[in-house]
């Protein structure tokens, strides 16, 4: 017995929605009133995808199209019956596919979708398509939805009917369907009959779906226009000359591609002719997709070959760090039966990928300051990945980078490296930076004190990827990157009365005594030239991992070679002077350890033995309190 025959004989069956689907339906039905018209755009988009998929499968199996080769989408309205139906003659669905696609949406990130719902109707509506839950928007306007579907290539008797009122269950049963494809019928709520009006529906199609490359026809089966008429331009937007496409059309096409209800920040429509012929339409979004940080998630451009849809997520055309870009590539050179495997081996693909990557980077460079600041806030860390992954475009990417700096105390208005270089002091041949776990830790770091005193600007790098950014960038505009928390820091000369060597010689006995006390905790103890107001700081040797990288690797479970920091002390600080004057060895040891503990805390490290620190501090506070009482007497 075939699978189709078994399903045909199974009869009607009532099944329950996945728990998360029930939650989702309740939110949609009761919350998204002001954006209810979105349902039609989502259903037409789904129908267009089904037609695209059939056309692709027909490349290998032409008989799938034989009985009905003209693909299209039909909308039927009946005001008297209060229904609107969207029908396509695309790939269709089997019984199992209907249950999987319409009964459960765990694959689409439903849990995260529900977490993102805020109660703001406009914002919540903008999430619908991004999470692959567009079909369920039908329940915003309908109190019952019926889906009739027959997969291409199976008999009429193998059709399936799915129906639900969106209250927790759905029914699925066999249905005799003459034509392949899918028909979604919405039984409109009593107060939503406006969507059974021909003028209203036509205006929505022209507003949201005019760019659909298949003809969308409209028929008023219960009115004066029962014969269907085409209500969209039915021309692939990217195939039209740029001058013939309005900005509104570009924006609506982006929303169709991305299921994002916000306008894109920018787009680029370009046709390349010559040795390689292809058309590209690329978009920079305003908002990140929910799975931006999942590097394994499907991503890429829609690929067409000679206007025939090939695949949704052709990841080979852009590097991973540009995974947020949406768009279309239509090639005249690739074979119609192209597969992902063939794409990976195609020699022309490297050239197309290189050209599209440069085009995206140019698009970003051309954004005005406000738009780019908004873009950077959302996608900056992803762009930084390009410095590690895309050596060929390192200089282009470097000019796109933005960092907080000591120029101001804000992290919301980051600066470019070009701005930093333009403000650099005369003769400054380095770009100084500080790695820290947070902006608050960075801006208060003792490592910045002498540099501030000299009026030297420092980049404040607080993102987890930043250590790799500076490691791969190394220099910009001829100026080397210098970590201000390294032992080998060399500051521009001027103003110092004594060299570091002379100062260390002067305080040799103190440094040696501290070194002996802290031998198990520090590599060495030196006089600091970078401190002004703080008694001490810890720095790393030039060839050691930075503390931030070390903590990151340890948190991920990796084994990191043991290492001890270098302690630098400010010999002019009163606390160090008191330490120098301490005659009691126990007191000297306690103060030395406290100085080191404070330096580690200021740097962002966790103390290995917090209890010892608390004990020492308590003893010191009691000593101070006792001295105060004695003085009062």
pLDDT tens, position by position, 308-345 = 777 888 888 999 999 999 999 998 877 766 666 566 66
Helix, strand, coil in percent for the chain, rounding step 5 = 45, 20, 35
Query: In the CATH hierarchy, which top-level class contains the domain 238-366?
Result: alpha beta
Can you tell me the distance from the alpha carbon of 384 to that of 382, in angstroms, rounded to the nearest whole number? 5
pLDDT digits (tens, 9 = 90+) for 407-449: 887 777 899 999 999 999 888 899 999 999 899 999 999 999 9
Q: Are 264 and 283 in contact (CB under 8 A)?
A: yes
Which of 129-138, 173-182, 591-600 is least confident? Answer: 129-138
Q: Are 363 and 264 in contact (CB under 8 A)?
A: no
pLDDT digits (tens, 9 = 90+) for 224-263: 777 899 998 878 889 899 999 999 999 988 988 887 878 9
Nearest to 522 by CA among 446, 595, 617, 596: 596
Q: What is the pLDDT of residue 107?
A: 42
Assign domain 500-542+562-632 one CATH number from 1.20.1250.20, 3.30.800.10, 1.20.120.790, 2.60.120.260: 1.20.120.790
Domain chopping of the chain, boundaries:
3-233, 238-366, 401-495, 500-542+562-632
Tokens standing for 303?
A: 């690929």
Q: Residue 109 — very low, low, confident or very high, per pLDDT cuts 50/70/90?
A: very low
Average pLDDT of span 591-602: 92
Q: What is the pLDDT of residue 333?
A: 76
Judge: domain 401-495, CATH 3.40.50.11260. yes
State the chain's mean pLDDT as an integer. 85
pLDDT of residue 167 exceeding 70, the answer is: yes
Tokens standing for 486?
A: 């390294």
Q: Are 147 and 183 in contact (CB under 8 A)?
A: yes
Ordered strands of the 159-164 beta sheet? 13-16, 169-175, 159-164, 142-150, 181-188, 83-88, 73-78, 216-220, 229-230
Tokens standing for 280?
A: 């590209």
Can you tell me the distance from the alpha carbon of 226 to that of 221, in angstroms, rounded to the nearest whole number? 5
pLDDT of residue 496 exceeding 80, the answer is: no
What is the secondary structure of 542-578 as a DSSP string?
TTSPPHHHHHHHHHTT-------PEEEE-TTSHHHHH
CB 251: neighbour CB atoms within 10 A? 15
pTM reported for the whole predicted model: 0.74
Q: Are 446 and 456 in contact (CB under 8 A)?
A: no
Q: 222 by DSSP, 3-state: which?
A: coil
Element containing residue 30 per DSSP (H, E): helix 19-31
Quick check: do 3-233 and 401-495 share a fold? no
pLDDT digits (tens, 9 = 90+) for 190-220: 999 999 999 999 999 988 888 788 999 999 9
Q: Which fold has domain 3-233?
A: Heat Shock Protein 90 (3.30.565)
- Phi, psi dihedral angles at 305 (to 5 degrees): -125, 115
């Amino acid at each position: 017995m075939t699978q189709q025959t078994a399903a045909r004989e199974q009869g009607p069956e009532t099944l329950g929605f996945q728990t998360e689907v029930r939650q989702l339906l309740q939110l949609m039905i009761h919350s998204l009133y002001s954006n209810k018209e979105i349902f039609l755009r989502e259903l037409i988009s789904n129908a267009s995808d089904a037609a695209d998929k059939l056309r692709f499968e027909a490349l290998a199996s032409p008989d799938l199209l034989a009985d009905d080769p003209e693909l299209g989408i039909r909308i039927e309205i009946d005001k008297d019956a209060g229904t609107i139906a969207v029908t396509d003659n695309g790939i269709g669905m089997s019984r199992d596919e209907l249950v999987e696609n319409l009964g459960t949406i765990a694959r689409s990130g439903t849990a995260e979708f529900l977490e993102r719902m805020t109660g703001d109707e406009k914002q919540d509506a903008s999430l619908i398509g991004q999470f692959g839950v567009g079909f369920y928007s039908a329940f915003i306007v309908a109190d019952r939805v019926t889906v009739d579907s027959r997969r291409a290539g199976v008999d009429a008797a193998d059709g399936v009917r799915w129906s639900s009122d969106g209250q927790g269950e759905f029914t699925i049963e066999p249905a005799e369907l003459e034509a392949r494809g899918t028909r979604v019928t919405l039984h409109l709520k009593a107060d939503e009959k406006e969507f059974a009006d021909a003028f209203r529906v036509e205006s929505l199609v022209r507003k949201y779906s005019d760019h659909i490359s298949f003809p969308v026809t409209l028929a008023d089966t219960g009115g004066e226009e029962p014969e269907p008429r085409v209500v969209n331009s039915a021309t692939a937007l990217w195939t039209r000359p740029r001058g013939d496409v309005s900005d509104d059309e570009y924006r609506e096409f982006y929303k169709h591609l991305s299921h994002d209800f916000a306008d894109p920040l920018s787009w680029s429509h370009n046709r390349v002719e010559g040795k390689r012929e292809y058309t590209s339409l690329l978009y920079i979004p305003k908002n990140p997709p929910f799975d931006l940080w999942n590097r394994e998630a499907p991503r890429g451009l829609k690929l067409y070959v000679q206007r025939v849809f090939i695949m949704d997520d052709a990841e080979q055309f852009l590097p991973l760090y540009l995974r947020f870009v949406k768009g279309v590539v239509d090639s005249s050179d690739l074979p119609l039966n192209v597969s992902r495997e063939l794409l990976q081996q195609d020699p022309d693909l490297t050239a197309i990928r290189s050209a599209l990557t440069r085009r995206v980077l140019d698009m970003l460079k051309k954004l005005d300051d406000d738009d780019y600041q908004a873009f950077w806030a959302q996608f900056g860390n992803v762009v930084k990945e390009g410095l590690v992954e895309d050596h060929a475009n390192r200089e282009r990417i470097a000019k796109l980078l933005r960092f907080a700096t000591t120029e101001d105390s804000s992290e919301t208005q980051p600066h470019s490296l070009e701005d930093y270089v333009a403000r650099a002091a005369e003769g400054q041949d380095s770009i100084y930076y500080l790695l820290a776990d947070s902006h608050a830790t960075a801006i208060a770091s003792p490592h910045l004190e002498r540099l501030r005193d000299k009026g030297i600007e420092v980049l404040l790098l607080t993102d987890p990827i930043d250590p790799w950014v500076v490691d791969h960038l190394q220099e910009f505009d001829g100026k080397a990157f210098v970590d201000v928390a390294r032992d080998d820091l060399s500051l521009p000369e001027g103003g110092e009365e004594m060299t570091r060597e002379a100062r260390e010689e002067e305080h040799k006995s103190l440094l040696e005594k501290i070194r002996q006390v802290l031998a198990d905790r520090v590599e060495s103890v030196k006089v600091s030239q970078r401190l002004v107001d703080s008694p001490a700081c810890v720095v790393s040797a030039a060839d050691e991992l930075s503390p931030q990288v070390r903590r990151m690797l340890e948190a991920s479970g990796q084994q990191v070679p043991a290492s001890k920091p270098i302690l630098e002390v400010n010999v002019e600080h009163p606390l160090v002077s008191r330490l120098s004057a301490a005659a009691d060895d126990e007191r000297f040891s306690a103060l030395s350890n406290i100085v080191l503990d404070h330096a580690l805390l200021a740097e962002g490290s966790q103390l290995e033995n917090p209890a010892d620190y608390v004990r020492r501090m308590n003893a010191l506070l009691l000593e101070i309190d006792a001295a105060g009482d004695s003085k009062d007497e």
